[in-house]
Amino acid sequence: MTEKVVVLSGASGGIGLAAASRFKQASCRVFGLSRHEGGGCEWVKCDVTDESSVNEAVNEVIARAGHIDVLVNNAGWGISGSVEFTELEQAQRQLDVNFFGALRLTRAVLPHMRADKGGCVLFVSSIAAVASIPFQSMYSASKAAINQLALALANELRPFNIRVAAIMPGDIKTGFTAARAKNTKGEDVYLRQASAVRSMEKDEQGGMPPKSVAELLYRVSLKKHPKPLYAVGIQYKAVAVLIKLLPVRFANWVIGKLYS
């Protein structure tokens, strides 16, 4: 059998590091794409916001391994703040990394998967994609875009035997919290903002370990017919179901009360 090759963005810490470890435990050859070396796997320098860098990185993986079986789009970061006072440049940066970064990498990998008549593309999304969090609107928007991309891709790529899924974690205890860019501008206007961000960060630091997400990523990569969207953890599965069943106005009101 040919060794399974996994390409993983954002492998240097958190969910990415845990996912790299899990795939390596399964005897996969894992390539970590990032700007800085790390992650305990074969490192390939890559900036997901630079299309040339992405194409060069994918070409290097193909040169070294010959094929790509699984792509895990995990690179991402977060910003917080009110919609009104978030600088447009910062909002664009949020989407450029979280959404367009995944799009660039997926587009670069797909020709190789089509040539091999199969593969698996996974996205690390968030429960915030379906339950938009106040004062984390740009992050929620970037993950909602990822979900819609995954849904469309799942249908487009089905004839090529390329499977697609987005994994939606809730609160995960990682360095993501400390790395968040917090915009405090406008806190004198939006009096709930500071407490909402503190509550969100407290929940994150009391959240599940990243290995929970890593395990699901690995298991979904093995499925012949995966669902397009997966929530991680019983409570977040319940949230995803309730968001579908409850009237939108009521569900959004409940989310607002949780962060008031």
pTM equals: 0.92
Q: Which residue in the block uniquely carries the two structure tokens 């579908």?
A: 244
Report the percentage of the chain scoring pLDDT > 90: 68
Residue 110 has pLDDT above 90, yes or no: yes
Q: What are the pLDDT digits (tens) for 66-88?
A: 999 999 999 998 888 999 999 99
* Residue owning tokens 């991680």: 232
Within 10 Å of residue 223's Cβ, how many Cβ atoms? 12
pLDDT at 61 over 70: yes
Q: Which two tokens stand for residue 9?
A: 């963005």
More confident residue, 258 or 228: 228
Q: Catalytic residues, which ones?
A: 139
Q: How many CB atoms lie within 10 A of CB 81?
A: 24
Compute the distance between CA of residue 190 and CA of residue 193 in angstroms, rounded to an integer. Answer: 6
pLDDT at 117 over 90: yes
In 104-129, which positions are buried (b, 16+ CB within 10 angstroms) versus exposed (e)? bbbebbbebbeebeebbbbbbbbbbb
- Among 23-37, 50-64, 135-149, 203-217, the range scoring the smallest mean pLDDT is 203-217
Burial of residue 2 (CB within 10 Å: 0-12, 13-18, 19+) is exposed
d(CA 119, CA 14): 24
Is the pLDDT confidence value at 177 over 70? no
